[in-house]
Amino acid sequence: MAAVGYARVSTREQKLDGQTDVLKAAGCEKVFVEHASGVLAKRPALDDALEYLRAGDTLVVTKLDRLGRSVRNLKEVADSLEDQGVGLKALSQGIDTTTPGGRLFFHMLAAIAEFEHDLIVERTKDGLAAARARGRKGGGRVKMSATKIRQARTMYEEKTYTVQQIADTFGVSRATIYRHLGEDGGAR
């Protein structure tokens, strides 16, 4: 029954010392460290830590945000740990899933965060629907007018200009030119 620590900072400039000191003081026998953004799907040190853990062990982090990319991801990690018989402790939040009260607190926090996320999504959808009802359209601004598209097509059909040169002429990307010309260069 080992306490295993996981520390993460987002950039190379940030220091892990504060987290590792706290984890060692909390009795962690081994500490896995990572320099990676929390939004990255691949976090090798976390994968190594999860592989290292055995039933009865506890994964210890200083804060929950060091562990998960999102509430959903954090819940997936916690559920996976629970399935393996591994506990989770978040020191600064006082969460310890090895106790019934700690599990309750963790699940309440996760439920509240998920509820908040769902409300944000719902408000966003309502706002977009209201904007559409007023005739507004989402998406990026139109980069090329119909006249510019005709000029680009003429330049392309002359076979004197490369697609990159055409894109540079109109101040757009090659992808924009291709999108307006169609793959075969024909009208769209």
Q: Which of 65, 62, 108 is nearest to 89 (CA)?
A: 62
Catalytic member of 10, 37, 80, 173: 10
10 flagged as catalytic: yes
Whole-Å CA distances, 3 to 71, 73, 101? 23, 22, 19
Nearest 10 degrees: Cα torsion 35, 36, 41, 44 = -10
Is the Cα dihedral 27, 31, 33, 38 positive or negative?
A: negative
CB 18 within 8 A of CB 46: no
* Helix extents (H) in 84-162: 100-133, 146-158
Q: What amino acid is encoded at 52 in this protein?
A: Y
Cα-trace Rg, the chain: 26
Q: What amino acid is encoded at 33 in this protein?
A: V
Pairing of strands 30-35, 87-90: unpaired
Q: Which residues are catalytic?
A: 10
